[in-house]
Structure 1
Amino acid sequence: MESKDRGRPFGAVETIMVGGAQVARLDLEQTARLMIETARGPAPEGAPLFLTSVNGEALARRDADPDFAALIDGADLVNADGQPLVVASRLLARNALPERVATTDLYPLVAGKAEGEGVSFYLLGASEESNRGTFQATKRRFPRLDIRGRCHGFLTGAALERKVEEIDALAPDILWLALGVPREQEFVRHWRHRLRNVKMIKTSGGLFDFMAGAKKRAPLWMQQAGLEWAFRLALEPRRLLRRYATTNPVALMLLMRHTR
């Protein structure tokens, strides 16, 4: 059993090594509850908490890129957003991961709790269409949820700097950051200390595309079997074939060698 304690609110969460990364042994409900409990407290001193997740692609990138590895390893909480990681932990680790914590499943759980607890959101990332669609879908389902603002993820230069200042002034409890890997981790490294009134940043990958209906999720049986990648490949072969052909074998090797 391994744990990390950086003097941060998540320091006591038990972690195990999965594919070389330290991953929290939390299920969806526990993760959502921890986020809400932390969001109800005071803002961390100096910078918001940084929550991220890893799947096979992220594990392969972490192994190949020391800079990216430092970003992942520096997070306050890392979840397993990939069923193969859960399966590997069950086969190879002394204490298996309880379940996959996919951000697309986590988001509505956190939103439902946030609506009742007065925890606020900001939605940053994806295209304008997907960002707007996520805002609308969330408000339809959770009408009393406090969403302080939203913005697409394609700002640069002075416009991005002004947006960061605006978000900090709005002081959302949770900033959902959907820029994709590795842009969202790099955003955290660059802008985290300018967001002192934000309590936590949760990297979110393709969450907004799924929430807005721009992309479809795999059937549940494929998710549980660790085959969601195959479903996505069938939908977007030109974009994903090369990526999966290069990252999946590396991720499998890492899971076999560095899970305990």
Structure 2
Amino acid sequence: MHERRANPIGRAATAGVPRISLGGLRLAVLDIEQTANFMIDMVFPERRVGRPLYLTSANGEVLARCSTEPMTDRLFRAADLINADGQPLVTVSRLRSPMPLPERVATTDLFHVVARKAQEARLTFYMFGADEAENAAAVANVQKAFPDLRIVGRCHGYLRGDALRAKVDEINALAPDYLWVALGVPYEQAFVEEFTPRLFNVGVIKTSGGLFNFLSGSRARAPQWMQNIGLEWAWRIWLEPRRLLWRYLTTNPRALYLLLYKSRTPGG
């Protein structure tokens, strides 16, 4: 995929979205409701752009990894729109920019807003990723919460080779308005890069990280007060210390440095 600046289709489709450069990435200055409205608007036939729009999200860990992993950086820069899924990004933007981020756009929160609007508009979802049990539980819970939402298919994210290519072609034939891809960074971004040419009937691809784990109920969100002050990472370390402690010890300081010294005001 092309970097967004060299991608005329994605650039034209998102031309009206304000952005700021924060921590080395250009982030959309949209709140959750505005992001959901944009996603709804972009899937109607007259707004389709000949390929799926690619939306992803960045937090402190993503900023740190983009600064040290060229492939990850390239995959994120290819996105048509990047939301800020991290309260520290919002806080720093309020200190550093005359056009700050209005709020954190967490994918877990955004999903519910888009689902509500898609249900009303009779738009369709496909949910791809996580393991079979997590995927099935997530879809079942979503259908309970949104009984009229049209979920045209689902699949775990452990397919490879010909089986994966066949599944991608099956998804394209189902032509969902929204394909939620939950494989983790950078695998879900690499999935978008590889398979966008085969998914021309899809409206929007939204990378989703650990979304399905929250939807299934297997993982709990941090208390709201911790989310509000940017400490959700501490909650996650408490839940999964062996997996996450070293990751955050190495990425958080770098992310803070990037936010303070690699951010620019609008127009940069």
Q: TM-score range by the shorter chain?
A: over 0.9
Structure 1 vs Structure 2 CA RMSD: 1.3
Contact 1:88/1:259 (<8 A) preserved = no
Does residue 222 (structure 1) correspond to residue 226 (structure 2)? The answer is yes
Matches within 5 A, 1:111-130: 111-130=115-134
- 1:44 deviation in Å? 1.9
Distance 1:251 1:152 in 2: 31
The separation in 1 between residues aligned to 2:75 and 2:165, in whole angstroms, is 21
1:12 and 1:258 mapped to 2: Cα distance?
Answer: 24
Of 192, 201, 204, the residue aligned with 1:200 is 204
Q: Give the percent of matched residue pairs that are identical in Structure 1 and Structure 2.
A: 53
SS class of match (1:87): helix
Q: Does 1:95 align with 2:122?
A: no
Kept in 2: contact 1:82–1:102 (CA 8 A): yes
- How many pairs were matched up? 257
The aligned amino acid for 1:11 is A
Q: What does residue 35 of structure 2 align with?
A: 31
Give the CA deviation at 1:119.
Answer: 1.1
What residue in structure 2 maps to residue 44 of structure 1? 49
Corresponding residue for 1:249? 253
Is 1:66 matched with 2:80?
no
Distance 1:96 1:226 in 2: 16
Aligned equivalent of 1:8: 12
Runs of 4+ in 1 over 4 A off after TM superposition: none
1:182 aligns with 2:164: no
Deviation at 1:249, TM superposition (A): 0.6
CA drift at 1:130: 1.2
- Deviation sequence 1:78-127 (CA, Å, 0-9, x none): 00000000001011112100000000000010000000101110000011
Aligned partners of 1:9, 1:94: CA distance in 2, in Å? 25
Q: What is the alpha-carbon distance in structure 1 between the residues aligned to residue 99 and residue 200 of structure 2?
A: 36
Q: SS in structure 2 opposite 1:99?
A: coil
Gaps of 5+ in 2: none
Structure 1 unmatched runs, 5+ = none
Which residue identity is paired with 1:44?
V
- Whether 1:165 aligns to 2:193 is no
TM-score (norm 2): 0.93
* 2:83 matches 1:79: yes
Corresponding residue for 2:148?
144
Question: What letter matches 1:196 in structure 2?
Answer: F
Q: CA deviation at 1:11?
A: 2.0
1:236 aligns with 2:240: yes
SS at match of 1:72: helix
Alpha-carbon shift at residue 8 of structure 1 (Å): 3.0
**Cα distance in structure 1, aligned partners of 2:119 and 2:134:** 22
Residue deviations 1:45-70, cap 9 Å, x none? 1x211000100110011111222111
